[in-house]
A and B are shown apart, each in its own frame.
Chain A
């Protein structure tokens, strides 16, 4: 879904009216090693013309009984993530033909189990575009963006992971 949509070269041709509204072309990125505040992120989507808001919260989870995972460590190439996000939102805006306001908040460093590690908020005039663009952005973040994470184990080890696997054996 999101991978195909964000993988195409659709970096051109934004409607000038969208640019004049300041929507769809200037996503906000928050990278912090502090707790993420979902309320303040929701407030960042505030707009009188964007009636639908979709929010995704991702947080480290236990792998079940016997898991030795304490949390996830996040390393972010912030400059690259900003560039990636800008391109992705431009593509989504063109794809859905609607102004979007997109916020990505990514926590860095060690994030304990259960605490928000990433929050993605998208606002659009209507719910369908808000929900779909949020899902697309989350998928893109997962598979394409310059964010890297490792499982932090009780014994102090870190196991670097990729979507669907581990890197340490490479």
Chain B
């Protein structure tokens, strides 16, 4: 799986069951420009897994879901969330 600590990267954070599925809490994925989220996730989650698990993606702490074909940019922080289960 790609790893990077440079500014030209997207940070992925996996919550709940996604952390167990991917084997990591977070990851830095190098990209050189706007890139579809589905490409950034390659190696971590397949589109089928994301669909089956109803995964939502929040960008930079904003409670707005984005689609998996949406473009993400270097420096973005993407939180990958399974369905809520509450307190």
Contact = CB atoms under 8 A, between A and B. Distances in A.
Interface of A: 58, 74-75, 77, 79-80, 83-84, 87, 104, 106, 117-118, 120, 138, 141-150, 158, 160-163, 167-168, 170
Interface in B1-48: 13, 15-17, 19-20
Contact of A77 (B15, B49, B52, B85): B15
A38 to B, nearest CB: 14
A75 B15 contact: yes
A143 B17 contact: no
Interface of B: 13, 15-17, 19-20, 49, 52-53, 58, 61-63, 79, 81-87
Given A77-B79, A170-B52, A146 B84 contact: yes
A145 B63 CA distance: 10
Which of B20, B49, B86 is packed against the most chain A CB atoms within 10 Å?
A: B86
9 contacts: A77-B13, A84-B63, A149-B85, A160-B85, A162-B83, A163-B83, A163-B85, A167-B82, A168-B17
A163 B53 CA distance: 13
Contacts of B84: 142-148, 162-163
B87 A141 contact: yes
Nearest to A142: B86
B86 A143 contact: yes
B87 to A, nearest CB: 3
Top 4 closest A-B pairs, CB basis? Answer: A118-B87, A148-B16, A142-B86, A160-B17
A147 B83 CA distance: 9
